[in-house]
Copies of this chain bind each other. A is one copy, B any other.
């Protein structure tokens, strides 16, 4: 039984708490949040204790793992402290928005031998995971092109955008990880183009809401990511992989299978599942299950600190491409 401390009890944190609570090999021991009522709500629902400060949690020898769901700017510090306290770490993405801080963090914790898993939840979506496994098992032979469609249902608040590190580090980073997950080789070059087309708010912040990112590998394999930030029909999340022997696609998910046929429209279905909490619910449960299993059974975690760094590195290169109009080669 893995005793888990939750650091950060916002929306994502609460969802993680629910999954820890329901997990047959894990127990939520502590809940911490700078906003104490948030931690208390989690504690009430799960039987966890409320921690006054992080050190209280770290001092508890019974705690085997910390689940970090605080704001991004605290991740590196918390990863470092938890790892030094010998706690296995599950940290929400991104590790940090500044790759130098990420590297400094790794310099501090990389040799401690503590499991650190980064929250790229989409790898655990049943459809995407099945698609990836089937690619790896050779069902469509050699992979040549990966197409990732990723559209949010709406533009975040200005406050959110101001601290999120930009579209490519906040939203696209998931797709960059997915491209790495699906491509049979590491990407070596990045091209990006992006614009603010949807809302004047975005333009005023110097931000983007519509983007294309192209990755290529050494042998010329390609991944194409298209992003858009106001898909009025719901959270549009699709993958298509083209290979030697055919294509594998993963389509969107709808709340029901009901179709309406009328004089105006046929086969009409409801909007797709609204956003990440709905769409990736099973994925969040599965990534936690994988983390708990890896920690308890001494297996490597399925999404490593290096994976978290690599996605950020690609996002940085994409911004470099935006600035220069060039395809940017990674060193």
| Chain A residues engaging chain B, CB cutoff 8 angstroms | 22, 126-127, 130-131, 134, 139-140, 142, 144-145, 147, 149, 151, 189, 191, 193-198, 210-212, 214, 216, 219-222, 224, 226, 228, 230-234, 236, 242, 244-272, 325-327
Expressed in whole angstroms, the Cα–Cα distance for A222 and B195 within the complex equals: 9
What is the minimal beta-carbon distance from A246 to any residue of chain B, in angstroms? 4
Expressed in whole angstroms, the Cα–Cα distance for A224 and B148 within the complex equals: 12
Given A193-B222, A197-B220, A260-B265: 5 more A-B contacts, CB < 8 Å: A130-B255, A134-B258, A144-B228, A194-B220, A214-B214
Taking a contact as CB atoms closer than 8 A, the residue among B226, B256, B264 that contacts A271 in the complex is: B264
What is the minimal beta-carbon distance from A329 to any residue of chain B, in angstroms? 8
Q: Within 8 Å CB of A248, what residues of B?
A: 258-261
Q: Are B260 and A271 in contact (CB under 8 A)?
A: no
What is the minimal beta-carbon distance from A191 to any residue of chain B, in angstroms? 6
Q: Within 8 Å CB of A220, what residues of B?
A: 194-197, 210
What is the minimal beta-carbon distance from A188 to any residue of chain B, in angstroms? 12
Q: Within 8 Å CB of A196, what residues of B?
A: 220
Expressed in whole angstroms, the Cα–Cα distance for A233 and B236 within the complex equals: 25
What is the minimal beta-carbon distance from A288 to any residue of chain B, in angstroms? 16
Q: Are B145 and A226 in contact (CB under 8 A)?
A: yes
Expressed in whole angstroms, the Cα–Cα distance for A256 and B147 within the complex equals: 18
What is the minimal beta-carbon distance from A242 to any residue of chain B, in angstroms? 5
Q: Are B245 and A232 in contact (CB under 8 A)?
A: yes
Expressed in whole angstroms, the Cα–Cα distance for A112 and B265 within the complex equals: 47
Given A261-B233, A271-B263, A271-B264, A224–B250 Cβ distance below 8 Å?
no
Given A193-B214, A224-B212, A249–B259 Cβ distance below 8 Å?
yes
Expressed in whole angstroms, the Cα–Cα distance for A221 and B195 within the complex equals: 7
Q: Within 8 Å CB of A127, what residues of B?
A: 256-258
Instruction: From A226, A256, A257, name the one whose CB has the most chain B CB atoms within 10 angstroms.
Output: A257
Taking a contact as CB atoms closer than 8 A, the residue among B242, B263, B267 that contacts A267 in the complex is: B267
Q: Are B214 and A191 in contact (CB under 8 A)?
A: yes
Given A22-B22, A210-B144, A210-B222, A266–B258 Cβ distance below 8 Å?
no
Expressed in whole angstroms, the Cα–Cα distance for A162 and B271 within the complex equals: 46
Taking a contact as CB atoms closer than 8 A, the residue among B230, B242, B265, B272 that contacts A269 in the complex is: B265
Q: Are A257 and B253 in contact (CB under 8 A)?
A: yes
Q: Are A256 and B266 in contact (CB under 8 A)?
A: no
The closest CB in chain B to the CB of A203 belongs to B220
Expressed in whole angstroms, the Cα–Cα distance for A246 and B267 within the complex equals: 11
The closest CB in chain B to the CB of A259 belongs to B249
Expressed in whole angstroms, the Cα–Cα distance for A147 and B267 within the complex equals: 17
What is the minimal beta-carbon distance from A90 to any residue of chain B, in angstroms? 23
Expressed in whole angstroms, the Cα–Cα distance for A250 and B259 within the complex equals: 6
Q: Are B250 and A256 in contact (CB under 8 A)?
A: yes
Expressed in whole angstroms, the Cα–Cα distance for A239 and B257 within the complex equals: 10
Expressed in whole angstroms, the Cα–Cα distance for A22 and B248 within the complex equals: 36
